Amino acid sequence: MKKLSVFLAVMLAMALLSSACLAEAADPLGKYDEMITVHFVRDTDDTLDANYFSQHPDKTMTDNLWCDLYRDVLNINVEYDWIVKSGDEYDQKLNTAIAVGDIPEFVNVSTLQLKQLVEADAIMPLEEIYEKYASPFAKEIMESTGPSPFNAATIDGHLYGLPNVDSPLMIADLLWVRTDWLEKLGLPIPTTMDEVLATAEAFANADFDGNGVKDTLGIAIAKDLWGQLFSLRGFFNAFDAYPGIWVEDENGNLVYGSTLPGAKDALRTLNEMYKKGLIDPEFGVKDGGKVAEATTAGKCGLFYGAQWNSIYPLQSCVNLDKDAQWRAVSIVSATDKPLKAQTNVGTLSWTVVRKDVAHPEAVMKMFNLFIEKNWGPDNENGIYYAPLDSESIWKLSPVVPTNPHKNDGAFLDLEQYRKDGDESKVQGEALSILKKLQAFESGSEDGFALWGWERIYGAEGAYGVLIDYDAKGMTQDNLFVGAPTETMTSKMSTLTDLQDEVFTKIILGEEDVDAFDKFVSDFNTLGGADITREVNEWYATVK
Amino acid sequence: MHNTAKAPSLSRNGRLKRELPFHLMLLPGVIVVFIYMYIPLSGLIIAFQKFIPAKGLFGNQKWIGWDNFIYLYQLPGAISALRNTVIIAFFKMILHLIIPITVSILLNEIRSSAFRRTAQTLIYLPHFLSWIILGGILIDILSPNGGFVNRILGLFGVQPIFFLGSNDYFRFTLIATDVWKEFGFNTIVYLAAITNIDPNQYEAATIDGANRFQKMIYITLPNMRMIIVLMMVLSLGNVLNAGFDQVFNLYSKQVYSTGDILDTFIYRIGLIDAQFGVATAMGMFKSVISTLFISVSYYCAYRFADYRIF
């Protein structure tokens, strides 16, 4: 008995001591004495398979560079309760998990899911952990686009999710166009909507592969309509409509950008394009990966999408056809109003922690390490972010807080280098990109696999266009950046489903373009009016 | 059991004693039904709540009366989902009766038993493929861009038809593929009924000079009457089940207006959009309508065909 109490006393002392240590030290990159296991869930995608796992068949989701790093540096062992193939599946599976209360320890969620988890009282506030454990450098990076990524996850004054920050600018749409086809047909790079339509029509009617069949598409669209690949956002922006984000009307009130009158004009134009055979009648059933088969096979030369599209899927197009050339150009306006490309809070996911987790700070340490390794002073970006032989390797980390200004910063550094040729000033990620550009310019076989990078960071690269948007004030931010409102949590996804369904039908001519007006009134009766009111109440508090 | 008046004059206790073992044998089944059928019914209260799952079924949920039902009524897809369900299920029910009966009678008339057995096996094979697999196959062979079916149609100068993406064809495709998948299996039931017919009846008819067609009409069909009515009454339970597996694997946004059925609608509202209250309200609505339909058709079967299960 005495032995036992001595043992207990010692244990107690040790426990007190270690907690005291934690309280004082709170080392942002402190290594745990004993290995701890953290359970995440995740999705994977085609780019990881195509760029990483195909080249490293012995690696798995839990045995790779990033998991090793977390184990070695922090003594954190990462495991996944489940892994699914796509973002869609991830949302479905996670929603079900939330519904049945089977919530993972650490999980990346949208703001809607975050709100549901808070309502369910299932996740813990993280503001103290953030204050205590975030390294100064991580704080600098995560706060560099202002407070909105944090506001969006703050409910009743508590921060419930750590933002996997990213650049708001990065998701603005560009117009990707096959310039070798333009040259063949003697067409200019489109600068007005009429020229875009003319280009689409010319592409659809041309027979580039000489098989005697008009089997090229005018413009490619994927079924999810607003993704970062084969999107319609840029097209709607041309008509002064901003699907999915909240913008100010002339009275200074927030309105939902999908319900603006310009959206009707955009739909009418798309339907006219469909009637002319410029749009794939099957687009409603094809996701981005499926549509990518058309660009790869040289059946499509025009679409709206994000800056990274040259790496995936366009790289496979040029791999097959060495004469193919693509270029990202500015989206165009169809009205006399100044053109604005829509952006959003760059952050797409927030990492939340289940209430009963013993080491919630582990995730903040992982954030610190991810940011430190990729953009820290040690210049290890070339190893951990996107090395020459294992593109997309950064996605192997379960948390991906990204330096929002890394890409435009790198592009500007490279622009400077192109002017003065001083390689010594190019550092960090810019340096690893410069090596890729040089490998491509060498004309070697391996270098050609980096064509996609040259299209983003080269002299006529996609990032140049994005930086131009920013410099000229040609962006439309999402003006609602708070946590989801009450009605939004329950009704918004049904409303966006309805919107996508109606828009798809109008484009395909299944419904008349006037169905848009019915959509707007349905939107309002089915909760949209309440959401708009709640959003404006929020807006009044921040204006 | 009907002539209770003449039942032996056992006392109430005596009868209970005699039948007790039977009641006990029934008990496990009743318990299972109670646990899996009746207890979950309590979940219907979700239909009247703003339901937050983590608070638990009997937790402190917010009661909102009929709001979920009103919301459903306003939701543009709900009415068309109901309409689609009824149309698709109705045609499936009818064709699932007519085609297997016809095929079984025709198969029965075939002399070569080797051919008959081969045909029987081949037509009921698709029954064992899941809709997940068939979905993938059908999307390919029905594709307007070089799909097998459209190539064949092309030989006859027909323009490619987008079977799975056109609102004119989607229901037809659903019904046709479902009948194709299941008719072979259903045929077996009727074939079994036909083999039970007394051969003497056919011999007598032959002597009377009946030809094969007349024998079919006057002997085979009337003898199958009971099994046909039984199958019909049993299938009535499916009047609002248009086949979730099939529709879910074949539909897309562009055919929601003709192909979305109650079950897929409930799935999307509940599991994708996480509106559990609304989804439960829809499920409850479906159950009430189904019960109504089944009661009426059961009564009709009794009234017009003098058939009853219990």
Amino acid identity for residue B14 in this structure? G
Same domain for B237 and B174 = yes
Same domain for A180 and A290 = yes
Q: What is the pLDDT of residue A209?
A: 84
Which has the closest alpha carbon to A484: A117, A104, A167, A100? A117
Contacts of B290 (CB under 8 A, 6+ apart): B237, B239, B240
Q: What is the pLDDT of residue B145?
A: 79
In this complex, do A100 and B75 lie within 8 Å of one another by their Cβ atoms?
no
On chain A, the residues whose CB falls within 8 A of the CB of B50 are 490
Nearest CA in chain A to B67: A526
Nearest CA in chain B to A113: B274
On chain A, the residues whose CB falls within 8 A of the CB of B253 are 223, 284, 500-501, 504-505
Give a yes or no: residue A380 inside a domain: yes
Neighbours of B58 (CB within 10 A): 8
Q: CB-CB: which of A119, A282, A526 is closest to B162?
A: A282
CA distance linking residue A278 with residue A275, whole number of Å: 7
Identify whether the C-beta of residue A519 lies closer than 8 Å to the C-beta of residue A502: yes
Select the more confidently predicted residue: A391 or A414.
A414
Same domain for B161 and B29 = no
Same domain for A35 and A132 = yes
> Residues B18-47: what's their mean pLDDT?
92
Q: Flag whether pLDDT at B4 surpasses 70.
A: no
Same domain for A372 and A357 = yes
Q: Establish how many alpha carbons lie within 13 A of residue B126's alpha carbon, considering only the half-sphere containing its beta carbon.
A: 17
CA B41 to chain centre: 22
Same domain for A200 and A278 = yes
Q: What is the pLDDT of residue A6?
A: 53
The Cα of B173 is separated from the nearest Cα of chain A by a number of Å equal to 16
How are beta strands A158-159 and A154-155 bridged, if at all? antiparallel
Which has the closest alpha carbon to B75: A495, A255, A515? A495
Same domain for A185 and A272 = yes
> Residues A238-256: what's their mean pLDDT?
95
Strand blocks (E) in chain B: 49-50, 62-63
Sign of CA dihedral A137, A141, A146, A151: negative
Q: What is the pLDDT of residue B9?
A: 60
Q: Flag whether pLDDT at B295 surpasses 80.
A: yes
Nearest CA in chain B to A518: B76
In this complex, do B276 and A285 lie within 8 Å of one another by their Cβ atoms?
no
Q: How many CB pairs under 8 A join A and B?
A: 86
Same domain for B90 and B39 = no
Tens digits of residue pLDDT in B180-199: 999 998 899 899 999 889 99
The Cα of B31 is separated from the nearest Cα of chain A by a number of Å equal to 25
Q: Which two tokens stand for residue A327?
A: 């270029």
CA distance linking residue B296 with residue B236, whole number of Å: 10
Same domain for A313 and A214 = yes
In this complex, do B253 and A526 lie within 8 Å of one another by their Cβ atoms?
no
Is residue A141 helix, strand or coil?
A: helix
Give a yes or no: residue B37 inside a domain: yes
In this complex, do A91 and B252 lie within 8 Å of one another by their Cβ atoms?
no
Angle (nearest 5°) at CA B110 between B104 and B115: 95
Expressed in angstroms, the distance from the first to the final Cα of chain B is 12
Is residue B74 within 8 angstroms of chain A, CB to CB? yes
Q: What is the pLDDT of residue A81?
A: 95
Give a yes or no: residue A276 inside a domain: yes
Q: Average pLDDT over chain A, rounded to whole?
A: 90
Expressed in angstroms, the distance from the first to the final Cα of chain A is 67
Q: CB-CB: which of B52, B253, B273 is closest to A501?
A: B253
Is residue B234 helix, strand or coil?
A: helix
Give a yes or no: residue B140 inside a domain: yes
Same domain for B123 and B15 = no
Q: What is the pLDDT of residue B125?
A: 92
| Measured torsion, CA atoms of residues A17, A18, A21, A22, in degrees rounded to the nearest 10 | -140
CATH of the domain at B101: 1.10.3720.10
The full 3-state SS of A161-211, as one line of letters, equals CEECCCCCHHHCCEEEEEHHHHHHHCCCCCCCHHHHHHHHHHHHHCCCCCC
Give a yes or no: residue B310 inside a domain: no
Same domain for B146 and B217 = yes
Q: What is the pLDDT of residue B56?
A: 77
* Interface with chain A: mutation pick from B75, B164, B253, highest number of A CBs within 10 Å: B253
Tens digits of residue pLDDT in A86-111: 888 898 899 888 888 889 999 999 99
Select the more confidently predicted residue: B198 or B306.
B198
Contacts of B133 (CB under 8 A, 6+ apart): none
How much of chain B, in percent, has pLDDT values that exceed 90? 47
Domain residues for the domain of B195 are 76-305
Q: Flag whether pLDDT at A53 surpasses 90.
A: no
Same domain for B257 and B139 = yes
CA distance linking residue A238 with residue A474, whole number of Å: 12
CA distance linking residue A476 with residue A341, whole number of Å: 6
CA distance linking residue A312 with residue A308, whole number of Å: 7
Tens digits of residue pLDDT in B206-236: 999 999 889 999 999 999 988 888 888 778 7
In this complex, do B253 and A99 lie within 8 Å of one another by their Cβ atoms?
no
Domain count, chain A: 2
CA distance linking residue B178 with residue B89, whole number of Å: 11
Give a yes or no: residue B68 inside a domain: no
Q: What is the pLDDT of residue A175?
A: 97
CA distance linking residue B9 with residue A543, whole number of Å: 89
How are beta strands A475-476 and A350-353 bridged, if at all? unpaired
Domain residues for the domain of A376 are 27-166+348-396
Give a yes or no: residue A36 inside a domain: yes
Q: What is the pLDDT of residue B264?
A: 94
Is residue B52 within 8 angstroms of chain A, CB to CB? yes
Q: Which two tokens stand for residue B99?
A: 């085609």
Q: CB-CB: which of A98, A284, A518 is closest to B53?
A: A98
Residue labelled with tokens 């094809």: A286
Same domain for A336 and A196 = yes
Give a yes or no: residue A444 inside a domain: no
Nearest CA in chain A to B167: A510
Same domain for B51 and B85 = no
Chain B, 153 to 182: residues with Cβ < 8 Å from chain A are 162, 164-165, 167
Q: What is the pLDDT of residue A9?
A: 54
In this complex, do B275 and A494 lie within 8 Å of one another by their Cβ atoms?
yes
Angle (nearest 5°) at CA A70 between A69 and A74: 115
Q: What is the pLDDT of residue A391?
A: 74
On chain A, the residues whose CB falls within 8 A of the CB of B247 are none
Q: Flag whether pLDDT at A19 surpasses 60.
A: no
Is residue B206 within 8 angstroms of chain A, CB to CB? no
CA distance linking residue B43 with residue B38, whole number of Å: 10
Q: Which two tokens stand for residue A432?
A: 């690893």
The Cα of A519 is separated from the nearest Cα of chain B by a number of Å equal to 9
Contacts of B237 (CB under 8 A, 6+ apart): B290, B294
Contacts of A526 (CB under 8 A, 6+ apart): A491, A494, A495, A498, B71, B74, B75
Nearest CA in chain A to B52: A120
Same domain for A265 and A142 = no
Nearest CA in chain B to A103: B54
Q: CB-CB: which of B143, B144, B253 is closest to A223?
A: B253
CATH of the domain at A155: 3.40.190.10
Is residue B254 within 8 angstroms of chain A, CB to CB? yes
Q: Which two tokens stand for residue A449?
A: 């696999």
Nearest CA in chain A to B77: A498
Same domain for A46 and A162 = yes
Q: What is the pLDDT of residue B110?
A: 87
Is residue A84 helix, strand or coil?
A: strand
Is residue B240 helix, strand or coil?
A: coil
Q: CB-CB: which of A120, A284, A518 is closest to B254?
A: A284
Neighbours of A53 (CB within 10 A): 18
Domain end marker among B39, B63, B87: B63
DSSP character for A107?
A: E
Same domain for A227 and A278 = yes
Same domain for A337 and A221 = yes
Domain end marker among A366, A396, A426: A396
Tens digits of residue pLDDT in A397-456: 999 999 999 998 999 999 999 999 998 888 888 988 999 999 999 999 888 989 999 999
CA B27 to chain centre: 29
Which has the closest alpha carbon to A88: A48, A43, A41, A51? A43
Q: What is the pLDDT of residue A10?
A: 52
Long-range contacts of A462-465 (CB under 8 A, 24+ apart): A462/A174, A462/A307, A462/A310, A462/A328, A463/A307, A463/A407, A463/A408, A463/A410, A463/A411, A464/A411, A464/A415, A465/A174, A465/A307, A465/A328, A465/A329, A465/A330
Which has the closest alpha carbon to A503: A265, A155, A218, A214? A265
Give a yes or no: residue B1 inside a domain: no
Is residue B271 within 8 angstroms of chain A, CB to CB? yes
In this complex, do B253 and A504 lie within 8 Å of one another by their Cβ atoms?
yes
CA distance linking residue A310 with residue A329, whole number of Å: 12
Sign of CA dihedral A451, A452, A456, A462: positive
Tens digits of residue pLDDT in B230-270: 888 778 777 788 889 999 999 888 888 899 999 999 998 98
Q: Which two tokens stand for residue B310?
A: 């219990």
On chain B, the residues whose CB falls within 8 A of the CB of A91 are 272
Q: CB-CB: which of A92, A282, A527 is closest to B144?
A: A282
Nearest CA in chain B to A89: B272
Same domain for B113 and B27 = no
Q: Flag whether pLDDT at B113 surpasses 90.
A: no
Same domain for B272 and B141 = yes
Is residue B50 helix, strand or coil?
A: strand
Split at pLDDT 50, 70, 90, the class of A21 is: very low
Amino acid identity for residue B121 in this structure? T
Domain count, chain B: 2
* Interface with chain B: mutation pick from A92, A102, A285, A516, highest number of B CBs within 10 Å: A285
CA distance linking residue A361 with residue A126, whole number of Å: 9
Domain end marker among B42, B63, B84: B63
Same domain for A73 and A101 = yes
On chain A, the residues whose CB falls within 8 A of the CB of B74 are 522, 525-526
How are beta strands A302-305 and A174-178 bridged, if at all? antiparallel
Give a yes or no: residue B208 inside a domain: yes
Q: What is the pLDDT of residue A317?
A: 94
Q: Average pLDDT over chain B, rounded to whole?
A: 87
Split at pLDDT 50, 70, 90, the class of B1 is: very low
In this complex, do B165 and A284 lie within 8 Å of one another by their Cβ atoms?
yes
In this complex, do A120 and B54 lie within 8 Å of one another by their Cβ atoms?
yes
Give a yes or no: residue B71 inside a domain: no
Q: Can you give the length of chain B in residues?
A: 310
In this complex, do B257 and A119 lie within 8 Å of one another by their Cβ atoms?
no
Is residue B253 within 8 angstroms of chain A, CB to CB? yes
CA distance linking residue B246 with residue A3, whole number of Å: 68
On chain B, the residues whose CB falls within 8 A of the CB of A294 are none
Q: What is the pLDDT of residue B8?
A: 55
Split at pLDDT 50, 70, 90, the class of B10 is: low
CA A443 to chain centre: 31
Is residue B57 within 8 angstroms of chain A, CB to CB? no
Which has the closest alpha carbon to A511: A223, A287, A274, A225? A274
Neighbours of B234 (CB within 10 A): 10
Split at pLDDT 50, 70, 90, the class of A20 is: very low
Is residue B274 within 8 angstroms of chain A, CB to CB? yes
In this complex, do B54 and A91 lie within 8 Å of one another by their Cβ atoms?
no
CA distance linking residue B302 with residue A440, whole number of Å: 81
Give a yes or no: residue B262 inside a domain: yes
Split at pLDDT 50, 70, 90, the class of A285 is: confident
Same domain for B119 and B15 = no
Same domain for B287 and B169 = yes
Same domain for B85 and B53 = no
